[in-house]
Amino acid sequence: MIQSRQTLEDDSGICFYHRVMSLSNAVGHSIRIDGEGETDRQQNESATTLTRRQAQVCIWRFYQGRYFGTGHSHQACIYDQDANTHQVGGPSRGTRFRPLSMELPKPLFPVAGHPIIEHCFRAITGVAEIKEVFIVGYYEESVFQPFINTVSTNFPQLTVKYLREYQALGTAGGLYHFRDVILKGKPEKLFVLNADVCSSFPLEEMLKLYNDKDAEAVMLGTRVANESASNFGCIVSDAHTKRVLHYVEKPESQISNLINCGVYLFNTECIFPAIRSAIKRRTERPRLLSYPSSENLESSFYQADDDDDNKENAVIRLEQDVLSDIADSRQFFVLESKDFWRQIKTAGSAVPANALYLLKAFQAGSEELAKPSANIIPPVYIHPSAHIDPTAKIGPNVSIGPRVVIGAGVRVKESIVLEDSEIKHDACVLYTIVGWHSKIGAWARVEGTPTPVTSHSTSVIKNGVKVQSITILGKDCAVADEVRVQNCVCLPYKELKRDVANEVIM
């Protein structure tokens, strides 16, 4: 029998179980608690009275906010969409970017020397007509205020404001909720960007296609391998006219390898009536329940009580609830991008995204990047306050944050080293994210498994078990001298004194 929400909240073991289940579902590792023995997912489930569907309610309590932005004559909307947009609990951080999202929201995580969301802002500035940007999310305004101050200084032509969403409304629902603010300047066009996307964001090309076709909507698409397509929204289009004929979000069968990139351009007279129609349809025909599978737990639905049912039906998602209706219009087009694109969903996916943005900056001749030398293999970003020993070999595809100290003979490749970290002499760091204030000892080796930047997966199979290909050290972790760490996710404030591989260390 399913326990009530109150029973779950009163259960003394709920926080521990919530952390273990959400992490094990997200990364597929075995779980080790503080280095004292190993417990696999099945043992955790048998050791608690909570069932898998009850655990789903717990996971829904973690919520990743969404971020929108708007402009005047044209608008740009930025949002960060996680799988928990249909959660029914209170606001919290998303789970898939853990342990990095324990310290700050995913859009503010630094990739290639800048917060993820700032790369969206840089693309927006390429469209001269955009003058105002709104960031809409679940977090307290104080969390984003330092970033807003920074982008307001760096991009003085943009007015940036934060609007807080107090209830989960979905990507389309949040857009509709703030429609009066968005439409105050009477814009004709609306750009919508997904903040957890790594892309070149060809907004000018989308605008040109929009104008040439007299379109009501344009989305950005890209081609992926057939076996990966069903993990994304799939687009069936006319190859000659580029018109969208059919759109399905994460289809069960193969229909197309042209996928939705999460970047849109809408006519404001089209998108808001479409969302209104979706809301009306949801009211008349509430969303049906479905039973979660182990592979898609976070994106399933669960009805705990009548109040939760009302909240669930209030969530309107752009991809699932609105785009398929717009596809019925003859004025919905897709711009197929030939440039780089990938999602930044899990913590490990920040490493290939870092490589893509660094390569883009290198090809553009950015002055921010470190100058190539015998021991600097481009592209590499090094913060001016970092101290790098001249004998250390850095790169390619490395970002080093403020006040980082790297000792003699160190090798760093395909990694992100966050601020105030220290890597002692002769250590080796490969395919890794080193968390804030972390320390790696002398002759230590911290590594993940090489992952092509073109791959949309950051997991590999080791001994028949699916594990993360990128090693991640949370905040204030320590790796002792001569210790080897491979394919591990380490939560904050842990000290590793022995060799570990293919584990989540809690």
Q: pLDDT value at position 279?
A: 87
- For residue 358, is it within any domain? no
Which has the closest alpha carbon to 456: 343, 380, 375?
343
- For residue 284, is it within any domain? yes
Same domain, yes or no: 97 and 45: no
What range does the domain containing 21 cover? Answer: 5-60
Residue-by-residue pLDDT tens, the chain, 506 positions? 444 334 333 333 434 334 444 444 444 444 444 444 433 444 444 443 333 333 333 323 233 334 344 444 565 656 544 322 222 223 345 678 889 888 888 899 999 999 999 999 998 888 888 888 888 777 888 888 899 999 889 888 888 888 888 777 888 888 888 888 888 878 888 888 888 889 999 999 999 999 999 899 999 999 998 888 888 899 999 889 999 998 988 888 888 999 999 999 998 888 998 888 888 887 776 655 444 444 444 443 333 444 444 455 568 888 888 888 888 877 899 999 999 998 898 899 999 999 999 999 999 999 999 999 999 999 999 999 999 999 999 989 999 999 999 999 999 999 999 999 999 999 999 999 999 999 999 999 999 988 777 776 666 666 666 667 899 999 999 999 999 999 999 999 999 999 999 888 88
- Tally the domains of the chain: 3
Residue 389's CATH number? 2.160.10.10
Same domain, yes or no: 39 and 78: no
Given 343, 360, 390, which residue is the final one in a domain? 343
Given 22, 38, 60, which residue is the final one in a domain? 60
Q: pLDDT value at position 110?
A: 94
Residue 117's contacts (CB-CB under 8 Å, 6 or more residues apart) are 67, 78, 80, 107, 108, 135, 147, 195
Maximum Cα–Cα distance for the chain, whole Å?
Answer: 68
Same domain, yes or no: 88 and 135: yes
Same domain, yes or no: 109 and 253: yes
Beta pairing partners, 193? 78, 263
Same domain, yes or no: 119 and 207: yes
Residue 150's contacts (CB-CB under 8 Å, 6 or more residues apart) are none
Q: Give the amino acid at 175.
A: L
Beta pairing partners, 393? 411
- For residue 17, is it within any domain? yes
Stated as kind and residue range, the H or E segment containing 219 is strand 217-223
Same domain, yes or no: 246 and 179: yes
- For residue 41, is it within any domain? yes
Structure tokens at 353: 């995204």
Phi, psi angle pair for 343, to nearest 5°? -85, 155
Same domain, yes or no: 386 and 469: yes
Same domain, yes or no: 335 and 373: no
Same domain, yes or no: 312 and 274: yes
- For residue 357, is it within any domain? no
Which has the closest alpha carbon to 171: 58, 316, 64?
316
Same domain, yes or no: 179 and 87: yes
- For residue 486, is it within any domain? yes
Same domain, yes or no: 180 and 210: yes
Q: pLDDT value at position 369?
A: 96
- E runs forming strands in 33-143: 38-39, 74-79, 110-111, 114-115, 132-137
Same domain, yes or no: 317 and 399: no
Residue 147's CATH number? 3.90.550.10
- For residue 241, is it within any domain? yes
Q: Per residue, what are the HEC states of 314-370?
A: HCCCHHHHHHHHHCCCCCEEEEECCCCEEECCCHHHHHHHHHHHHHHHHHCCCCCCC
Q: What separation in angstroms does the CA of 397 have from each of 355, 363, 390, 415? A: 5, 13, 18, 7
Q: What is the DSSP secondary-structure string of 144-155?
A: HHHHHHHHHHH-
- For residue 69, is it within any domain? no
